[in-house]
Amino acid sequence: AQSVTQPDIHITVSEGASLELRCNYSYGATPYLFWYVQSPGQGLQLLLKYFSGDTLVQGIKGFEAEFKRSQSSFNLRKPSVHWSDAAEYFCAVTRDKLSFGAGTTVTVRA
């Protein structure tokens, strides 16, 4: 069965600092990989996706993620965090059904 793990439940960063959210997946083959963001009271918004090709993918809002097959990871990064990036972030993997990680809540302090 496929599964996805987000080791960090909560991360606090200062505005302007860099951010990295970890995601590890477990699957026999390379799955399709996604990062979503959920602001309070909102649905999930797609940040970026990886299907194949270049292992560094660019997304919206200045986010990027790198797929590392050897580590079964798909970590999300942003060089400089803005206060509006405070939200919950979900990594998701799929071949047939979309499976979500437990989420990482990001708090941004001034």
Binding site for other proteins (CB under 8 A): 31-32, 34, 36, 41-46, 49, 51, 90, 94-103
Retrieve residue 35's tokens. 């990062």
Is the Cβ of residue 42 or residue 107 nearer to other proteins in the bound state?
42
Q: What is the DSSP letter of 96?
A: S
Is the Cβ of residue 46 or residue 56 nearer to other proteins in the bound state?
46
User: At its nearest, how many Å lie between other proteins and the CB of residue 67?
Assistant: 16
CB 100 within 8 A of CB 6: no
Which of 53, 57, 37 is CA-nearest to residue 45? 37
Supply the DSSP string of 60-84, one letter for each residue. Answer: GGG-EEEEEGGGTEEEEEESS--GG
Is the Cβ of residue 22 or residue 49 nearer to other proteins in the bound state?
49
User: At its nearest, how many Å lie between other proteins and the CB of residue 9?
Assistant: 11
User: At its nearest, how many Å lie between other proteins and the CB of residue 110?
Assistant: 27
